[in-house]
Amino acid sequence: MSAASSNLDTASAGLSAAYRDPRQGRGTGRTRLWRRVVDWALIGAAFAVVAGVAVQARAQSTTLLNVSYDPTRELYKDVNAAFAAEWKGKTGETLTIRASHGGSGKQARSVIDGLDADVVTLALSADIDAIAREAKLLPAEWQKRLPNNSAPYASTIVFLVRKGNPKAIKDWDDLVKPGIGVITPNPKTSGGARWNYLAAWAYAQQKYGDEAKVRDYITALFKNVPVLDTGARGATTSFAQRNLGDVLLAWENEAFLVFDEFGADKFEIVVPSISILAEPPVAVVDANVDRKGTRKAAEAYLQFLYSDKGQQIAAKHHYRPSRPEVVAKELVDAFPKLKLVTIDRDFGGWAKAQPEHFGDGGTFDQLYKPKS
């Protein structure tokens, strides 16, 4: 109130007088006193609100925080609503699930630095490994605790092209042709981009076998990348809204989402001959749930992802379910069949691939090194 009224004062003073005395507009002693009273009242009210919110948050039964990565926003909105309803039916407890989204690596770092995540659902197991390694919030062998390498759903990398595929992009080969603009986020800052990079690598390896030629292919590919966005969502925006480039390397679910979001009349999905099986893993953050007393709910939440209902929701959001047999057939059939390499079999796991390709001075950094 007082802020608004004093703004009005200065505004009208500005209109009326060309040369404004700096002391003008402060009002007489009485209005000044009144204003100060209002200010203090406002400050008091602000404190009361903050205290109130804090008390209320404490009084609430259980709150779970799911720290996730960018393209799962829509998925977890559905999952959270469905799980909260199920939990209420089972235990009578009102469960509030908050979700935090952002770049996978950045999210992992927030958890390491103290963000109170009950569960993490990130883009790469390397990011959860980092939480185990750097902050010891969960055991190093966390990935063995849930079925299927702790990945309740999987995805892969596909191409999104403009309607009619004007540049006739069919496979990875076409991406290195001159004049093709390839949009991918920066593998240094985006988990999804690392899957993109490795999928391209896997293709070149299958085609050439020889490492020097694989590097040439990857170098040529990134020569065609005009912009390195920091995250998957940013890259999608660059491609779909800014009209940048001819092909977007994207998570399969993100590509379908662009379809849903911008209309199927503008884009087409191209499925390459080979890609990578991207398995975004999930884990309970032990140290946090034990401190907060939320272990039971957190574990049930992750189990729910593997349940029939959870799998159905994942498939609906274009994530490949790990138990396709429990999901409606038409949803499963919507996923194109293609050859998929895996990180464990073909790249020796994230513990090896991460430093080799994306660490300081790794294969990705070498791409941009100027030839001396």
Partner 1 sequence: MAQALVLGRRTSGPGVLPGFGLSIGFTLVYLSLIVLIPLGALALKAAGLGVDGLLKIAFDARVLAALKISFGVAFAAALINAIFGVLVAWVLVRYEFPGRALVDAAVDLPFALPTAVAGIALAALYAGNGWVGALLEPHGIKVAYTPLGIMVALVFVGLPFVVRTVQPLMQELDREIEEASATLGASRLQTVVRVLLPPLLPAVLTGFALAFARGVGEYGSVIFIAGNMPYVSEIAPLLIVIKLEEFDYRGATGIALIMLLVSFAMLLVINLIQAWSRKRYGHV
Q: How far is the CB of 22 from partner 1 (least distance, A)?
A: 5
Interface region with partner 1, contact rule CB under 8 A, candidates 15-23, 39-47, 52-60, 293-301: 15-23
Residues 104-115, buried b or exposed e (16+ Cβ, 10 A)? bbbbbbbbbeeb
Using the rule CB under 8 A, is 189 a contact of partner 1?
yes
For partner 1, the binding residue among 136, 242, 266, 296 (CB under 8 A) is 242
3-state DSSP of 188-216? CCCHHHHHHHHHHHHHHHHHHCCHHHHHH
For partner 1, the binding residue among 115, 244, 271, 332 (CB under 8 A) is 244
Q: How far is the CB of 53 from partner 1 (least distance, A)?
A: 22
Q: What is the DSSP letter of 113?
A: T
Using the rule CB under 8 A, is 263 a contact of partner 1?
no
Q: What is the DSSP letter of 363?
A: H
- Neighbour tally for 299: CB within 10 Å: 16
In the shown chain, the binding pattern of residues 122 to 161 toward partner 1, with x for contact by CB under 8 A and - for none, equals --------x---x---------------------------
For partner 1, the binding residue among 179, 265, 370, 371 (CB under 8 A) is 370
Provide the phi-psi class of 74: left if phi over 0, else alpha when psi is between -120 and 50, else beta. Answer: alpha
Helix (H) or strand (E) holding 304: helix 295-306
In the shown chain, the binding pattern of residues 204 to 233 toward partner 1, with x for contact by CB under 8 A and - for none, equals ----------------------xxxxx---
For partner 1, the binding residue among 106, 167, 215, 295 (CB under 8 A) is 106
Q: How far apart are CA 179 and CA 197, in angstroms?
A: 20
Q: How far apart are CA 137 and CA 124, in angstroms?
A: 17
Which spans of this chain sit near partner 1 (rule: CB under 8 A)?
A: 10-12, 14-15, 18-20, 22, 103, 105-106, 109, 130, 134, 186, 188-189, 226-230, 234, 237, 241-244, 358-360, 365, 368-370
